[in-house]
Structure 1
Amino acid sequence: MNNQMITPNANHNISSIGRLLLEMGKISLEDTERILRKQHEEGIKFGDAAKLLGLITEDDLQFALSQQFEYAYLPSSNLSYSRDLVAAYEPFSPQVEGFRALRSQLLFRWINEGFKAISIISANENEGCSYLASNLAVVFSQLGKKTLLVDGNMRKPRLHQIFNIKQTYGLSDILADRAPGPDTLSVIPEMPNLTVLCAGTVPPNPQELIGRSNFTQLIKYASSMFDVIILDTPALSVSSDAQMYASITRGAVLSSRLDHTSISEITNLKALVQSAGASVIGLVVNKF
Structure 2
Amino acid sequence: MAKKINPVAGVSLMAYIDKNSILAEQCRIIRSNIQFSSIDQPIQSVVITSAAAGEGKSTVAANLAVVFADSGKKTLLVDCDLRRPTVALTFKQWNHDGLTNLIGKGTEKIEDFVHESGIDNLSILTSGPKPPNPSEMLGSQRMTDLMNEFKKEFDFIIYDLPPVSIITDAQIIAAKADATVLVARQNQTQKQDFLQSVKLLKMAKANVIGVVYNNVKKNTDNYYYYG
Report TM bin, short chain. 0.7 to 0.9
Alpha-carbon distance, 1:121 to partner: 1.2
Q: Which residue does the alignment assign to 1:284?
A: 212
Corresponding residue to 2:74 among 138, 141, 146: 146
Match of 1:188 in 2: 117
Per the alignment, residue 202 of structure 1 pairs with 130
1:112 CA drift (Å) = 7.1
Q: Secondary structure at the residue paired with 1:176? A: helix
Aligned residue in 2 for 1:122: 50
Q: Whose RCO is larger (CA < 8 A, sep 6+)?
A: 2
SS at match of 1:118: strand
Residue among 152, 159, 166 paired with 1:238: 166
Whole-angstrom CA distance in 2 between matches of 1:112 and 1:240 = 29
1:263 corresponds, among 191, 210, 213, to: 191
Aligned twin of 1:217: 145
Q: Does 1:94 align with 2:22?
A: yes
How many residue pairs are counted as aligned between the two chains?
A: 206
Which 5+ residue runs of structure 2 have no aligned equivalent? 1-9, 216-221, 223-227
Does structure 2 retain, via aligned residues, the 8 Å contact 1:169–1:179?
A: no
RMSD of equivalent CA atoms: 1.7
Amino acid at match of 2:198: K
- Higher-Rg member (1/2): 1
Q: Residues of 1 paired with 2:66 and 2:12: CA distance?
A: 11
| Paired letter, 1:87 | A
1:163-200: per-residue Cα shift (whole Å, max 9, x none)? Answer: 101141111111101785422111123x2200100000
Identity %: 34
Is the Cα contact below 8 Å between 2:34 and 2:43 reproduced in 1? Answer: no
In 1, distance between residues paired with 2:80 and 2:100? 9
Task: Note if contact 1:173-1:179 (Cα within 8 Å) is conserved in structure 2.
Answer: no
Q: Is the 8 A contact 1:119 1:232 kept in 2?
A: yes
Distance 1:279 1:183, change over 3 A: same
Cα distance in 1 for partners of 2:176, 2:194 equals: 21
From the superposition, tell whether residues 101 and 145 of structure 1 become closer, same or farther in structure 2 (CA, over 3 Å).
same
**How far apart are 1:83 and its partner, in Å?**
6.4
Q: TM-score, normalised by structure 2?
A: 0.86
Give the letter aligned to residue 113 of structure 2: T
Give 1:157's aligned residue: 85
SS of corresponding position for 1:221: helix
Q: SS where residue 129 of structure 2 aligns?
A: coil
Structure 1: runs of 5+ lacking an equivalent: 1-81
Report the CA distance between 1:94 and its aligned residue. Answer: 1.3
1:136 to partner: Cα distance: 0.3
Measured after TM superposition, the shift of residue 250 of structure 1 is 3.8
- TM-score, normalised via structure 1 length: 0.68
Deviation at 1:161, TM superposition (A): 0.5
